[in-house]
Amino acid sequence: MSQARIGIVGTGRMGANMARRLKDQGHRISAVHDSAPGIAAELAAELGCHAAATLAELSAGADVILTVVSDDQAMRSIFAASGDSLLKNATGRIFINCATVSPAVHEEIDAACRNVGASSLEACMASSITQARQGTLYLMVGGSTEDFARVEAILRDLSSSLRHVGGTGQAAKVKALVNMVMNINTAALAEGLGLGAALGLDLPMLKEIFSQTGANSRVLETDGDDMISREHDCYFSAAHAAKDSGIANQLAAAVGLKVPLSLAAESQYLRMIDLGLGDLDKSGIAELTFPGRNEN
């Protein structure tokens, strides 16, 4: 579908950078839409496309629609059964839903799309804003093999690693586990470096030793320096970390599995939200563990 008209719903930093990347790769961006119309209008002017005033208008003018929204509630709202909805004018369309939401919601949206003659895939992203702009996302895709084949070229232009993991809901389960483990690792690193600071250890030395031993992790590479220097510019917020750990913990509860480490990590991110720190990057969890940073 190299000549497909592509619409983007959700033009925050991830959605906007995905749109820019597709435009750079020669794809036709026909329209964008956001709950904040001004943001969509700015991106539309940059890309030379239409800023759709409604969801239904965007569906009418696109063949492939990428959605990049925040949570289950937002996902349900853009695919509502009544009122303004992407399901209007959706016959023949294929939706690629990139938000980290619960597997049950992906399954619900897939059924709603098929009821109006549309198709849907989940394309869960294990990457951040920079990778979206560079086209180096790690994408885990759930849905039918036929639908995956229809849009594989588009997905490959967004990613450096692309994996079709199974039917609807399966990618969301994998993504929940990816973020569950990442969030645990982030919380553990913050505690290790925080304790090192309290013991008066040289933190760059400690971080280097971590990197050469069983304490190593991808999080050490991405977040370690930021934790030490207190630079928490947001690439993946603490609020999103809390949401995603919550999804994983709900899945665990549904199958009767105990996940005490994941529950503890979620509680730390929820505490950040309570302290007004939810908009910090997940590295900001170090503000809870380093001595002298937070006395609450």
In this structure, the answer to whether residues 115 and 186 fall within a common structural domain is no
Domain final residue, candidates 151, 167, 183 = 167
pLDDT at residue 192, rounded to an integer: 98
Domain final residue, candidates 167, 185, 201 = 167
76-83: average pLDDT: 97
Q: Which residues contact 112 (CB under 8 A, 6 or more apart)?
A: 79, 81, 87
Contact between 14 and 132 (Cβ < 8 Å): yes
CA distance 159 to 125: 9
268-287: average pLDDT: 97
CATH code, 256:
1.10.1040.10
What DSSP designation does 281 have? B
Distances (CA, A) of 132 to 37, 155, 267: 22, 11, 29
What DSSP designation does 235 have? S
Domain span including residue 43: 5-167
In this structure, the answer to whether residues 141 and 220 fall within a common structural domain is no
How does pLDDT run across 86-142, given as a tens digit for each residue?
999 999 999 999 998 999 999 999 999 999 999 999 999 988 889 999 999 999 999
pLDDT at residue 295, rounded to an integer: 64
Q: Which residues contact 90 (CB under 8 A, 6 or more apart)?
A: 59, 113, 116, 117, 118
How does pLDDT run across 38-48, given as a tens digit for each residue?
999 999 999 99
How does pLDDT run across 181-213, given as a tens digit for each residue?
999 999 999 999 999 999 999 999 999 999 999
In this structure, the answer to whether residues 247 and 270 fall within a common structural domain is yes
Question: Is the four-CA dihedral 14, 242, 138, 143 of positive or negative sign?
Answer: negative
Of all helices (H) and strands (E), which one includes residue 119? strand 119-125
Q: What is the mean pLDDT of the chain?
A: 96
Domain final residue, candidates 167, 182, 217 = 167
pLDDT at 2 over 60: no
